Structure 1
């Protein structure tokens, strides 16, 4: 959908004689959020400048950007998935912000700042942040005398105790179809997913003992401990929410957006649910991926100063919180996050675990080839193979080789 706000002469301006169109591509969250963006577009549509909004969504959103870049029809401003920034920067498609890596670390959540930094240059402005934590049935835990698990070993112990107390339910929701729910366990076990060598090349570390053990442990939650239904091998986030709401599981790893979805579907659950930090692994880490979106200005933008003015306006703390809170996101900008976590929608006992979890969140390996690794599906296929009985080391050796082939081309 494309919406255009035409210049009227009474919007925000700096007295310059700039003219042209500033096209902004935004995620399509639904028509109820469009007035927020339309108001911003109108604010900056001055004499000679029109701000045009396009809402893109669906599984082909990334491809729409790639096609626009290759055909030189990219928008002036884009709100892009944070894992896309290194890729687009490597193509020379993005305009550097002029900030240093140190400056963005002071202004944004650390992992979000990492998402806009490529080869020591900054190419974007983090907008929202998302992380995962543990969600559990606090009411049933209390009745059974259980505490939420602090470690992954505790997940097994508590999960089995939960099943003993509630035989018609499972203790933990395995998400075998969603790599983001278990790939961070490689860090929890003390390993790395991929690292950059001194010569700049990226190398997979998924064949090392920590990664092998992390994948094996997660598979055994299903195969050895029976903490989830058999179908959980293919579950993703939406399946976990449904299973929790249908009283099938007692706890699961959930994104802040998963919890929002859960409570929208079943408001009565708010009095029954609790949250806790991600469990720690034997490596002493409970890091999870940071998800989210970043604003970028494309190198082809003909009105870069106006584009930067618009982005700055959007990132005003109060304005940022206004929209991210509606969407169930957290702002990635530290001053706005402070508002949300102290007096906003993430300040309550139930929600504050998510801003706290941001402190240990990490970004994916910052290589432009990472999208290619994800696209193979091999991060999920490896877990499925181990669940199916294949020898873990051999499976992970194959995964590492596939990753190296892709990373070497990045």
Structure 2
């Protein structure tokens, strides 16, 4: 009885655990740690949404079991959002389901449609549930490039011709966590044509649809004619309305996939607490000024962070979308790897970031920096990073980083 359970054996040690442990230890010593590691929104949920929750909680009828696939008004509200935002018509009865955040929906759909040994195509690096939802369900994952361009399309073509068994599903996520890449509609057109040609399901994670900063407004894959034949899309209120802890998300698209998810969920949960669902209706159908205000907050934070890092001598691309910067490790520290670099930055600068290795092997060489502190704290963080870089002579590419003997290589 000492052997580890089969599905647990397929899950590697949690890469973020080492940094989280170091962060907790530092805080226990009373150190001020600026935590930019977790994508946990710090802005308050808009008042009209909170008020609707409070109002509904006062009704004792709302305390009974809810509806697993979402109350009818919520499914209609999500369909209304797609109509307004993407000009996509959805049937609330057959093409929409509410989920407990997009993460739960992705994992349960993976369980619903996966047979042991199936091949699933997943960008690398990507958000962990994109691959591990399918790994837990018994599939094998084949990594593809994470960029929404010809490189990914060529890799998909190779995967179809050289994978045994042939891939059954593909995951995409734009704007992306962690890379912040943004796709355009032309890319989705090619992706849909490819998937229809090869009978491959597409699961699109659109959790960051409303967090964008340039002229490119993130589209939905469902805007492509024929996409609903093979695609389902997951969205979330977590970032759009700063409702991360409310755990309210949706899946929309192909009726067969929605039915499969509905059936699985009917065995597993009774849906989110009804007052949360009613408040979600208020979010989707009420005033939308708050969405632009939240987007502007992240834009300002992005600009403060990127300017500060550049001034510190750390060249980090400015993200077009999402609430993250995907930062290449400065050349002087690259040999350390992302886990040890993250621990060193925490130790010497008091700034926590997420090691890129936690998002897949091709995330090595990067760290993810979240826009989850106010501008004052971000300026404080970049000042600390500037001192850190100066102490390590990291402003010059030909100067090697000084290894701290207390930092050991912990990831192979």
TM class, shorter-length = under 0.3
TM-score w.r.t. the length of structure 1 is 0.27
